[in-house]
Amino acid sequence: MRFQIDNEYDKLEAVLVHRPGMEIERLTHENMKQFLFEDVPYLRRMQDEHDLFTGKMTEHGIEVFYLEKMLEDVLRDEVSRKQLIDEVCRTANVPAISQELANLSHWDEAKLVEILFGGLTAAEYQGATGQRVASGSGDEEHFLLPPIPNSYFSRDPAVVIRGAAISSKMHYAERVRETLLTRAVLENHPEFSENAIAYGGTDEPTEDRPYTIEGGDVIILSPEAVLIGASERTRSETIELLAGNCFKIGQVKRVYEIPIPTERAFMHLDTVFTVLDRGVVLWYAPVMEPIKYIHRYEPTGDDNPTAKRCQESRSFVDVLRDEFDTEVTIVATGGGTRPFDTREQRTDGTNTVAIAPRTVITYNRNEHTNEALDAHNITNIGIDGSELVRGLGGPRCMTMPLRRSR
């Protein structure tokens, strides 16, 4: 699979997803805030909704790769398995269990994948290995490895920009393992390993924290231009680093930094802005209309270019018009009407994923947004999402596009 994403709207050919699993059942009303959830989803219904979502993509000829299945393949290689487990345990501050966790005599690859997503308690570790690990609390149900219930939002840990991937650096520690698992697949699975990683590879330790960036903030306008949101989760310093890396390997010519409020309700740019076709966008007006102080990064004119930062004089709409080379049509979240716009922004009405020009997947529940899409002749393929939406993410959040047709 050769990666190629030149924009947000050409026909989608392949995506990477993660089907929600045991990690969701680790959520309780006591720990859900810690794991960045507002409620406790019902797993079986959530899986049904996710299956219908991926089924819609398959019906439209899109090849769906499952992160958990590809991770099983990676774990069959001893060197890759030990490297990943060492990194996971070091990040979780439990290096002492690394050797036993990587020992397949305790569990097979499928069970190990379940653990990497769903977590591992002290009692579960002792039951499988016969070894006791003392926890600070003395509670046998204490997590040695916490679960990562946000991992079904596969857009955030990595994103493809043209022919290269970036491995994200997550803002919250609770999500860091998502990037480790996704990066292990990108770097080591034979289906993907020939593709370049433009940022965040294992050979780039200098680009680690505090340089955070998440895939939901990255929107590809064209083969030459990318928008990146400076948000709650993505830092301006990281955008500059990423821009320089993309310029060095010739992926794009311009990167725009778009500031959005650093609030949980607007955690990523794609919660308030998505692209439906060339020159057609969906946005949440209360955030996007006031946008100003845009920065533009361009490559310095030398053999080893870095990113040159300058203040953008054009309005955001003018930037879009110039980059799309056409007039811009704006569809407003909730039809632009209060209170439906704010209600449906919260339930990810803006967070659509285009699977072809003017054809998007949406949540059925966002009726006013979907009516606005209909009025602009945008085909919206609705899915139920009463459980999926509880993690505060929509169809775009749940997909990492790998390839679109040129």
Residues belonging to the active site: 397
Ordered DSSP codes for 74-107:
HHTSHHHHHHHHHHHHHHTT-GGGHHHHT-TTTS
Q: Over the Cα atoms of the chain, what is R_g?
A: 21
Q: To 5 degrees, how large is the angle CA 230–CA 273–CA 347?
A: 105
CA distances to 9, 81, 102, 266, 328 from 155, in Å: 16, 24, 27, 16, 25
Q: How far apart are the first and last CA of the chain?
A: 15
- 3-state DSSP call for residue 285? helix
Q: Is the previous residue joined to 41 through a cis bond, with omega within 30 degrees of 0?
A: no
- The conformation of residue 226, written as its DSSP 8-state character, comes to E
What is the token pair recorded at 180?
């480790």
Nearest CA to 285 out of 231, 227, 349 is that of 349
* Cβ-based neighbours of 160, under 8 Å, separated by 6 or more: 3, 4, 5, 166, 400, 401, 402, 403
Give the distance, in angstroms, between the CA of residue 265 and the centroid of all CA atoms in the same chain.
Answer: 16
